[in-house]
Structure 1
């Protein structure tokens, strides 16, 4: 084990030299650390003596030191709710002002449709005020200039049909170094400020520092959003200017992807528009329902279809919004999407949560309006209660010998940690009342899959190890039609979200239950196998992440409210939330939502994800890649479209053109290898899961709306998707973030109505009827490059069936 630790130190020295720019991965290729197919020697530590250590833990390195930490001694942290800042329109313009509680503007630059980069580029009077305040290079706003990166449907014109998407509320956030005292539990060491980079609250007018700002919460933050209340989220890059100040991994250039919100491409966070320390990026998260422009797609057969397309108001009413209520989203998250560094940055803590509330899913059990589903939540406020509605972000860290966050950039299969953290807590516990709770479970790991179940730990009535049933209600933030009773979840891939309702009413004061991971995984490529509950609870020497990961402690009363600090629950309160075991739910008389029909597609596309070992992202003549393609001699992962040549990520290459909003397409995702599993993520729109090409498909997935699909080894998934409302450049990729960073990403372009189309003015499409140029960010500002459109990207290209 000492030899293995020395091997890890050797690797970390190389990682450090690479992150400091002293060596490139091309150098490592020449030295034999990388091969044409990716990793060779480094898997086992740059030492011939450490193969025994590889079998000990999935990281291929010594076990993470625990410093005496015990499981289920740390209380579950609840996400830090971000403060809402009112926005008002500036007189005579479409700008918005950030308002303080005294009714006066805050010391923040107004939000605006066009980037401040435009004004900075003109070098007009006062332009120097728009310089990056830390480097004095480039503009203060990282959003690229021009109409293609102007916020879509941003207007305060009272005659515009898009006025209701003008931002009403703002959030000021920092992506910074973790605050002092950040620990995974009380026994573990405090994390170095650059070991964890995470979101946190930013005070208006904060000056920033070239050495970084310790504003990161160290654990997930939470935005409470609602339909009918568009928001402007300003995210500052408060990381150190010096790239070398990263504790060995992570890139200080960031871009934030709101996974999987229905937003314009300029606010999607995955169009190569990353920004640098000292700058901010304004994201217009419009909170609009999909099919806003397509009334014919709505469920007119439901007499309440208009009321269900809504957001909750503060007085218990509803804000009507345009769109299809069947497309309502709920459990969301956002995270870094810097191409080639996503895995490092997200593992480092660069992610946060967002719950989107609607009329049907308002998280308040006191409102009975015929629309509210009465899902477990609370009643302290008219919407967004959390007492019985709990976010669980499950990450998979690993630690070096000093207890600091560790990541192996050499592992192209996908990095597996050997520890479970939930909301940043090491194997936490949570006290619960004997009633129903909703849990929003996010797989925030880089490569590890999970399969969760609930089992009795100790009880006066039930035997230890007894499996506890629960109700499945949402997949990737999309309500399923009917609640589904399960005793174990499906495998949960990276980025997938499963919402469940657990009823603790059968348990007595002092009983406890476990959330259990049944899935063994010792390689980043795919899980090994599902274990029985009995075997999982015993643990597995090869995978320390198998078994109980969280404890629920049942208490009759004495639990303080999260929503109202003055309130303590006695346990005698009636549970007003929906009881899915009641006859009206079991008979189907009551439903969570309505099924979207399957229709004949306008076109089909077949997209194959594979491991080709031959990347072609560089210019064959110059050997250069613009934009940045990383420093790899060859990429192990690639994508084929419609049977054509395999390609690795080049953000300047378009693999699919979507010519017209509202057209229904069927896409088939194919796994080209049997030794791998790939959780494939589609940005911007959800797809209805149709079939698995003859493979089994469970009730939680069949015809369900999703945005991440596990392909399974040698498997395939066919989905129905309809694009609309916004335009620009988006991507689809594997959400095993190592596979993503090693180029398993494809760019697609959504085109909106052209100026001669009657829908042009109605949709506010501006330039997006054309293909958008690719931004090339630098510390001195953004330039652009004309993209290459591959032949198979054309919508009339003949489809090759698989």
Structure 2
């Protein structure tokens, strides 16, 4: 993946990024695939910045006026333009006018704009820890389609502390953006027009409750391989799939050393044989290949004991340790990585109990909601600027939801299981075990957390440094689009409107 170059560095770095349609070969045996990409790339070019160095980006929509994927108009305003985009820097501490609010969309050449459109040039101040964020489309109601078409890319913040740790760097530090896709025989993307069990009265096209592709891509390539040296490598891994979660493992049995999560470095490395990743989560890992010279090692996705034997999504990519060692490997896996002060030392102003619930719409399609409210219901979450709050996600649906909160990074407090069957009978919460502390790999800064079924997942966050309109949502994109997303507003203490 290319690194984005600024148009100018006068008065700070300024970039222009164009969203365009193009064709790209994703595998030698596939014909070129029609895609939408930032600067005609899938994934988009990597943006690299230094901590506290502000940049400006003009996101330009040069896409066609008609979508090539199936747009469901049944739950959207029919007057909305079919192709609209707005880019969100996921995990960024960003002023609201540059956050990528779902209704701040714009069309080709800014001919039409959404009700929250504010500015053409976005500002990213990068006043946060070194980490890998990612940017992706966030347009209201069609995020799943725009991302599936290719609109996403990596965004890396660097700082001096991290540079001084002597981690693997340069060509030995590699982002791995994992996605799943399905293809037609002609190489085009296949995305369902209706659910598998669609009834005759269902709209066509109709949104689907989930999407699992049958093919895995890494950095825009189908089941790729990477030729490497027998040494340590640092991989910045992102799950950029719409719905699919992954359980990463190496078929060699060797461990990962996780050094970071969504919001940057952990306090110390965590040795792991398996790593679970929900959509939009990132893990920062080091793998030591120094003893695998001449081997071929597969990064696998553990599908579990009940997997279909014909399911080929159990393999992600291959590492071929066949290159000679170009120089002595002086990189290390430090015992101490960073310091993370606990937010539990802060005064907690509010505890919010937030239900993840399931219902049905007029077509009997699944309708997953937050606190049983639709997107356009009045805002109910209004944290004060600088305040610390605990958000408790009570999941009464039958599956895990990756919950994402814009603007802030949070810390995971615990998860506590409850009796879901009893809750469905009488609406009462009966705990079936004590609260469970997060795993060591989750004890850093996070912006997305797995909220399992029949559990209450608690996170703690300080809402700063900006006021304004933001959103929180499930990051399964099919859920987010319909209608598992809610606005929240950070207010000054004297403003409780």
TM-score, with structure 1 as normaliser: 0.54
1:246 matches 2:68: yes
Query: What is the SS of the residue equivalent to 1:391?
Result: strand
State the match for 2:373 in structure 1: 647
**1:737, distance to aligned residue in structure 2 (A):** 0.5
- What CA distance in whole angstroms lies between the structure 2 residues aligned with 1:551 and 1:477? 27
Contact in 2 for aligned 1:609/1:670 (Cα 8 Å): yes
Give 5+ residue unaligned stretches, structure 1.
1-78, 90-167, 201-215, 290-327, 363-371, 378-384, 457-466, 520-529, 558-570, 616-631, 641-645, 755-768, 772-802
Q: Greater share of strand residues, 1 or 2? A: 2
Q: 1:237 aligns with which of 61, 79, 95?
A: 61
Shift of 1:541: 2.9
Determine the structure 2 residue equivalent to 1:543: 311
Report the counterpart of residue 603 of structure 1 in structure 2.
350
Which ranges of 4 or more aligned residues in structure 1 deviate by more than 4 Å? 247-251, 632-635, 695-698
C-alpha separation in 1, matches of 2:364 and 2:14: 43
CA contact (8 A) 1:477 1:499 kept: no
Matched, 1:287 2:126: yes
**Which residue of the partner structure matches residue 393 of structure 2?**
669
Answer whether contact 1:481 1:595 (CA < 8 A) is retained. no
2:93 equivalent to 1:262? yes
Which residues of 2 match residues 31-46 of structure 1 at below 5 A? none
1:688 aligns with 2:411: yes
Question: In the alignment, does 2:109 pair up with 1:278?
Answer: yes
8 Å Cα contact 1:607-1:639 kept in structure 2:
yes
In structure 1, the residue matched to 2:321 is 554
Contact kept in structure 2, 1:610 and 1:637, CA below 8 Å? yes
User: What's the CA shift for 1:572?
Assistant: 4.9
| 1:403-482 mapped onto 2 (5 Å cutoff) | 403-411=187-195, 412-456=208-252, 467-482=253-268
How many residues matched?
450
Alpha-carbon offset, residue 770 of structure 1: 8.0
* Matched ranges for 1:785-800 at <5 A: none
1:594 equivalent in structure 2? 340
Q: Structure 1 residues 249 and 329, CA, compared in 2 at 3 Å: closer, same or farther?
A: farther
Deviation of 1:553 (Å): 0.8
CA, structure 1 residues 468+477, in 2 after alignment: closer, same or farther (shift >3 Å)?
A: same
Alignment of 1:391-406 (within 5 A): 391-406=175-190
Structure 1 partner of 2:151 = 350
From the two aligned structures, give the one with the greater helix fraction. 1
Aligned partner of 1:311 in structure 2 is none
Asked if 1 retains the 8 angstrom alpha-carbon contact of 2:235 and 2:286, the reply is: yes
Q: Residue 709 of structure 1: CA displacement?
A: 1.0
Which of 573, 577, 585 lines up with 2:331 in the alignment? 577
> 1:521-532 to 2 correspondence within 5 Å?
530-531=304-305
Q: How far apart are 1:88 and its partner, in Å?
A: 3.2
Shift of 1:696: 4.3
In the alignment, structure 1 residue 373 sits paired with structure 2 residue 165: yes
Q: Give me the whole-angstrom Cα distance separating, in 2, the residues matched to 1:233 and 1:633.
A: 42
Inter-CA distance 410–700: structure 2 relative to 1 (3 Å threshold): farther
The answer to whether residue 271 in structure 2 is matched with residue 485 in structure 1 is yes
Cα deviation for residue 249 of structure 1 reads 5.0
Q: How does 1:182-197 map to 2 (within 5 A)?
A: 182-192=24-34, 196-197=35-36
Q: Is the 8 A contact 1:344 1:409 kept in 2?
A: no
Question: Residue 744 of structure 1: CA displacement?
Answer: 0.4
Aligned-pair CA distance for 1:655: 2.1
Aligned 8 A contact 2:469 2:487 in 1? yes
Cα separation, partners in 2 of 1:346 and 1:695, compared to 1, 3 Å = farther
Query: Is 2:413–2:438's contact at 8 Å kept on the other side of the alignment?
Result: no
Contact 2:240 2:279 in 1 (8 A): yes
Distance in 2 of aligned mates of 1:356 and 1:276:
29
Match status 1:656 vs 2:381: yes
Match of 2:202 in 1: none
Q: Which residue of 2 aligns with 1:565?
A: none
Q: Distance in 1 between matches of 2:439 and 2:364?
A: 43
Task: Provide the C-alpha distance between the structure 2 equivalents of 1:405 and 1:738, rounded to a whole number of angstroms.
Answer: 17
SS at match of 1:710: strand
Provide the C-alpha distance between the structure 1 equivalents of 2:343 and 2:496, rounded to a whole number of angstroms. 31
**Compared with structure 1, are the counterparts of its residues 277 and 556 closer, same or farther at alpha carbon in structure 2 (3 Å cutoff)?**
closer
Q: Does 1:515 align with 2:299?
A: yes
Q: For residue 667 of structure 1, report the CA deviation from its aligned partner.
A: 0.9
CA 1:702–1:237: 2 relative to 1, 3 Å: closer
Give me the TM-score of the superposition, normalised by structure 2.
0.85
Task: Name the CA distance, whole Å, in 1 between partners of 2:265 and 2:160.
Answer: 13
Query: Is contact 1:472-1:700 (8 Å) kept?
Result: no
1:777 corresponding residue in structure 2: none
* Whole-Å separation in 1 of the counterparts to 2:213 and 2:323: 36
**Secondary structure class of the residue paired with 2:144:** helix
Distance 2:54 2:223 in 1: 36
Between the aligned partners of 1:687 and 1:281, the Cα distance in structure 2 is: 29
Mapping for residues 499-514 of structure 1, pairs under 5 Å: 499-508=284-293, 510-514=294-298
Q: How far did residue 741 of structure 1 move? A: 0.8
Identify unmatched segments of 5+ residues in structure 2: 73-81, 111-118, 196-207, 417-433
1:595 positional shift? 3.7
Q: Does the 8 A contact of 1:733 with 1:744 survive in 2?
A: yes
Report the CA distance shift for 1:355/1:702 in structure 2 as closer, same or farther (over 3 A): closer
